[in-house]
Structure 1
Amino acid sequence: MLSVLVVFYVLAPLCYARQVNITIDASNVVGDLPPVARFFGADEPNYATYPDGRVLLDHLGSLGPHQTYFRAHNLLTTCDPSDQTSPHRLKWGCTNAYTEDPSDGQPIYNFTIVDEIFDAYMENGVKPYVEIGFMPQALSTSPNPYSFNFTPTANPDIIFTGWSNPPVSFPKWEELIFQWAQHSVDKYGEEEVNTWYWEVWNEPNIPYWNGTEEQYFTLYDYSVNGVLRALPSATVGGPAVAGGASGDFLGLFLTHTINGTNNATGSGGAPLDFISFHAKGSPTFIDATDSVPAHLQMNMASALQNVDDAFSVIQSFHTVNHLPIVISEDDPDSLAAGVTPNVEYRNGLIYPSYTAAAFTREIDLAEQYGVNFTGATTWAFEYDDHPYFDGFRVLATNQIDKPILNIFRIFGMMESKRLEAQSTGQYPLAAVMTSSVRNESDVGVLASISEGGDKIAVVVWNYHDDALPKPDAQISLNISNAFVGGASGRVTSLTHYRIDQSHSNAYSAWKLMGSPQHPTPNQQIDLKMAGMLQMLQPPTEVQFENGMAGIQFNLPIHAISLLVFEQ
């Protein structure tokens, strides 16, 4: 007869809870669990060197055993010398890496600001994911207007100015990239730069690139040739298209790299070490009806359809479908610096629970297609000198971590091998891809085990698209075939971490304080502590009999639990 210690965490009346049964077979390793949740990025590169940016980079560099990367736009953009605010505006940044001598037009290369940005990354344990862009003003075929002033409610199309155009000379562009890569090797060393990604441009299928597809392929060829002239072993890739496969763009790009004519060298094809694309959700604001109040509604299906489309195209190219794939922007919506009712999910619990559910489905899709999914880039960082919890898609506000950052701490604590896990409350992958999560909530599970079998980490989420009250989930979690061997009745420690309204949630703590825009020093300390990943209760002990144990706990809507069992 099975004897187990059952641990109860009762946080809400069970009569209102929905029963969900989760089963995990610790003997059934279904494969490696790729550490995809370790890539981040932002439009504004210069914030990395600011005080709040450095603090957040330190947190990103400490997420887990796997290397964290950072991708930024505007690493080659030209500053306006008459505008003292130009390095730190919404959707803008600049480095003056390339200018020209006004007397003779000779290039002037200056990587001082780029170095400061990359130094800030590496001093905090983060490596550059180098986005090669955008066009310096002196190289642009249509340089004016060049800079812009973006506001949170502006039409995003105002940003597509002179920096988005092709170069006046592709050889001059290649020489800039060569000089940059060579400088990086000289400064940081070949061994270090070999660990970076070099990605050519951003979203060339929309006005981020005001050229043709063929001109982008030419840009790719010259950019890659410049990098590889300096470091033949560098990791290069692209095309970072928006919208998954973006029609036939991704396929045409892969065809070009496999057997097209290289515009820079005249040879066949172009080097390609990784493939990138972007996936975005599409939240909307639902007006009130007689039965339902006005509310935000997420849409995970649109992002997953982007991923499905791109994986399908990549899988069909048999000579490159083994390459690493990075979703170099992977977010619930498409405009980090915009503020509308459609994006009122960013401060609270919907954002991390969406991310847990979406990233797990993307891993499932990669397994289904048999492709090498390596990274999912969360396009969110921080803005110094902005109000607290201002509604932008950021990871922290005034050195206070938002709940979203804690899902990445959770992902960082997952083990290297994925276990078979079933939940009676989890939507099938096909259902989420078709219609997102609109009926009952998605109570899902992702389970992992260490190489030696001495640690099991399980994440459970309770997600729904609607920002409305929903029933809690009463979880019954049962593990079999765990920690077998040795004495019967083995006692194992259990640490239960939680993201909910009262744990790992600086936003709810801030609201309880009255939403102060000038917190006292003591309130600042409390908010910083509230922003860290917290335990639901002190660690407990669970007894495994014949490799089996069970626990029960309540999981509120949009809450997330991480359970770590360790010998």
Structure 2
Amino acid sequence: MIRVPAEQQGVLSEAWRACVGTGRLELALRRDYQDSLTLLQKEIGFRHIRGHGLFSDGMGVYRPYEWQGARRVHHSFTYVDQVVDACLELGIRPFLELGFMPGELASGGQTVFWWQGNVTPPSSHREWADLVRATLTHLVDRYGLEEVRDWPVEVWNEPDLPDFWEGADQAAYHRLYEVTAHAVKDVDASLQVGGPAVSPGADEGWLGRFAEFVERRDLPVDFVSRHAYTSGPAQPVPFGTYQTLAPAERLLEQFGAPRRELKGTSLAELPVHITEFNSSYRPDNPVHDTAFHAAYLAPVLAAGGDLVDSFSYWTFSDMFEEVGVPTALFHGGFGLLTHRQVRKPTYHLYAFMARMGRDVLARGDDHLVTRHPDGRVTVLAWAPPRTDLHTLRLSVPVGDTERGTVFLRRSSVDEERGNAYTAWRRMGSPRSPRPHQLDMLHDAAEPGRSHLRLAIEEFRVDVDLTLQRHEVTLVELSPVIEESPDWWDESRILGGGGSG
């Protein structure tokens, strides 16, 4: 029996929902994307959203033209405004990633992804700086400085990888960062700029060399960013990928890496943002769809805020096309939600976290206990991955009531409950479910729920939990205030006898 302290042990960090990832930004113009984001914000409520492609050709921002024999550049924000407006209406703000390179500003033809984001340096750093200044100036003019200064501006994405930055040329990235940081601060000194958004595979010297460069050049850096994944090399199959996975603790080690590597530099005390994290870095790995995945990530959500200022799940929706248009409803996509808003088990992990209290009472390898300001107590518990049955016994404080009862509500996802992927597999894995099948999948995605009353003894209740394989469960406890009238007689409801 674990005795949960009655005294507050700390405050639950909001780092787990400070940001969430998305497919390329132009996808936000689609109905399915907006429907998914609406549901996400209603039930979870992320603060910021980050995705690739702000400057890619699909957003149509950089528009060079010739007039009267001279080359000129027009900056168009038609799609940018639609995307940002849609996000702000749902209470989620941009985390601006500046990339990829507009085709007509690029110095080369190298691209990444099915949608061909250009990953070469600009042919003109002056025009790149003009593009950055024009974009930030437009956003400040449209949404106000007080709003936009809360939108971090990240320079590029994973420049340590040759797939994302031509030749993984760090000197070229440093030049891009210098030009970009100055352009951002030209708009207003209070705007946040940072980077370098390195991959988990970046050598330990990458961040250190970045710190040396910005120190030497006296460049503005308001935050440091990095990515974190735990999967091994891809083992491809048609329209899919399998990979080995390191233990989830490896994600927390990666979260802590920037501060370890930057110790002793001028960047050591800056905010750290993990602007992408997940188990697999592939958008076609079936692990993302499973109950295992929720149980695997539960301890990361519970503890990640001790290490960083934000860690952004990659991504909120399967509306994502880096390797092409998905070939089935469940296809191993990154999303918390499939297309058509079917909730995955990991979605429920986040939704459970959104119902936790502010004050932390206890945290262990398989549980997190919090208290709300009104005295309600919440318990998030999870079964260690690949464990068939897991038991957890807690003695939980319930406030200033020495005797009486509490109402316990339990919501669970595992291999059977809250698991549309299991139902989909049993259906025969229909690639495009018919309407009645889609209805069944939405039903199957609902968490299992139960409730009961527990007796309070000396200001505490004993909560005994048996967790099924890969179960994540949320227990909510609130004192019962009995309002049944004196004449209430349960035995007579079904037509039994009694005196009245």
Which residue pairs with 2:238 in the alignment?
A: none
Which residue pairs with 1:438 in the alignment?
A: none
Q: How does 1:80-95 map to 2 (within 5 A)?
A: 94-95=58-59
Q: How does 1:221-370 map to 2 (within 5 A)?
A: 221-243=178-200, 246-257=203-214, 259-261=215-217, 269-283=218-232, 297-300=244-247, 301-314=249-262, 316-317=263-264, 319-336=266-283, 339=284, 343-363=285-305, 366=307
CA contact (8 A) 1:47 1:382 kept: no
Check if 1:477 corresponds to 2:391. no
| Amino acid in the other structure paired with 2:449 | L
Check if 1:536 corresponds to 2:478. no
When the two chains are superposed, the root-mean-square deviation of aligned CA atoms in Å is: 2.7
In structure 2, C-alpha distance between the alignment counterparts of 1:147 and 1:421, rounded to whole Å: 41
In structure 2, C-alpha distance between the alignment counterparts of 1:284 and 1:542, rounded to whole Å: 49
SS at 1:246's partner residue? coil
Check if 1:209 corresponds to 2:180. no
Distance 1:349 1:168, change over 3 A: same
Distance 1:276 1:63, change over 3 A: farther
CA contact (8 A) 2:22 2:315 kept: yes
Out of 150, 166, 172, the position equivalent to 1:195 is 150
1:73 positional shift: 0.7
1:177 positional shift: 0.5
CA deviations on 1:61-94 (whole Å, 9 max, x unpaired) are 2244x6432111111012xxxxxxxxxxxxxxx2
CA deviations on 1:414-448 (whole Å, 9 max, x unpaired) are 222222334xxx3xxxxxxxxxxxxxxxxx11222
Out of 2, 14, 21, the position equivalent to 1:41 is 21
Check if 1:403 corresponds to 2:345. yes
CA contact (8 A) 1:37 1:411 kept: no
In structure 2, C-alpha distance between the alignment counterparts of 1:276 and 1:455, rounded to whole Å: 36
CA deviations on 1:292-333 (whole Å, 9 max, x unpaired) are xxx97531354344333323124x146544432211111111
Out of 294, 305, 310, the position equivalent to 1:374 is 310
CA contact (8 A) 2:375 2:399 kept: no
Which residue pairs with 2:52 in the alignment?
A: 73
Which residue pairs with 1:392 in the alignment?
A: 333
Distance 1:490 1:276, change over 3 A: farther
| Amino acid in the other structure paired with 1:219 | L
Which residue pairs with 2:61 in the alignment?
A: 97
Out of 86, 91, 116, the position equivalent to 1:125 is 91
Task: Say which is worse superposed, 507-516 or 273-282, in terms of deviation.
Answer: 507-516
Out of 454, 458, 467, the position equivalent to 2:379 is 458
In structure 2, C-alpha distance between the alignment counterparts of 1:335 and 1:471, rounded to whole Å: 27
Check if 1:492 corresponds to 2:406. yes
Q: How does 1:41-60 map to 2 (within 5 A)?
A: 41-60=21-40
CA contact (8 A) 1:245 1:251 kept: no
CA contact (8 A) 1:462 1:556 kept: yes
Which residue pairs with 1:183 in the alignment?
A: 138
In structure 2, C-alpha distance between the alignment counterparts of 1:310 and 1:518, rounded to whole Å: 43
Task: Say which is worse superposed, 171-180 or 120-129, in terms of deviation.
Answer: 120-129
SS at 1:260's partner residue? helix
CA contact (8 A) 1:245 1:310 kept: no
Structure 2 unaligned regions, length at least 5: 236-241, 480-500
TM-score, length of structure 1 as denominator length: 0.75
Structure 1 unaligned regions, length at least 5: 1-20, 79-93, 151-158, 262-268, 287-294, 367-371, 427-443
In structure 2, C-alpha distance between the alignment counterparts of 1:98 and 1:28, rounded to whole Å: 52
SS at 2:16's partner residue? coil
CA contact (8 A) 2:12 2:357 kept: no
| Amino acid in the other structure paired with 1:391 | G
Runs of 4+ in 1 over 4 A off after TM superposition: 145-148, 283-286
Out of 74, 82, 89, the position equivalent to 1:116 is 82
| Amino acid in the other structure paired with 1:260 | R
Task: Say which is worse superposed, 354-363 or 173-182, in terms of deviation.
Answer: 354-363
CA deviations on 1:493-536 (whole Å, 9 max, x unpaired) are 3221111133222222333444334444343333224334x352
In structure 2, C-alpha distance between the alignment counterparts of 1:378 and 1:455, rounded to whole Å: 31
Distance 1:317 1:37, change over 3 A: farther
SS at 1:477's partner residue? strand
CA contact (8 A) 2:15 2:304 kept: no
Distance 1:148 1:67, change over 3 A: closer
Out of 399, 418, 427, the position equivalent to 1:504 is 418
Distance 1:380 1:32, change over 3 A: closer
Distance 1:527 1:216, change over 3 A: same
CA deviations on 1:331-381 (whole Å, 9 max, x unpaired) are 111222xx3xxx3312211221111123335345x2xxxxx5333333352
Which residue pairs with 2:460 in the alignment?
A: 548
Q: How does 1:519-534 map to 2 (within 5 A)?
A: 519-532=433-446, 534=447
| Amino acid in the other structure paired with 1:496 | R
1:490 positional shift: 4.2
In structure 2, C-alpha distance between the alignment counterparts of 1:235 and 1:542, rounded to whole Å: 50
CA contact (8 A) 2:23 2:319 kept: no
In structure 2, C-alpha distance between the alignment counterparts of 1:256 and 1:460, rounded to whole Å: 45
In structure 1, C-alpha distance between the alignment counterparts of 2:183 and 2:216, rounded to whole Å: 18
| Amino acid in the other structure paired with 2:302 | T
| Amino acid in the other structure paired with 2:299 | A
SS at 1:501's partner residue? coil
Q: How many residues align?
A: 462
SS at 2:462's partner residue? strand
1:406 positional shift: 1.1
CA contact (8 A) 2:15 2:305 kept: no
In structure 2, C-alpha distance between the alignment counterparts of 1:254 and 1:410, rounded to whole Å: 38
Out of 449, 453, 457, the position equivalent to 2:371 is 449
In structure 1, C-alpha distance between the alignment counterparts of 2:3 and 2:389, rounded to whole Å: 19
SS at 2:134's partner residue? helix
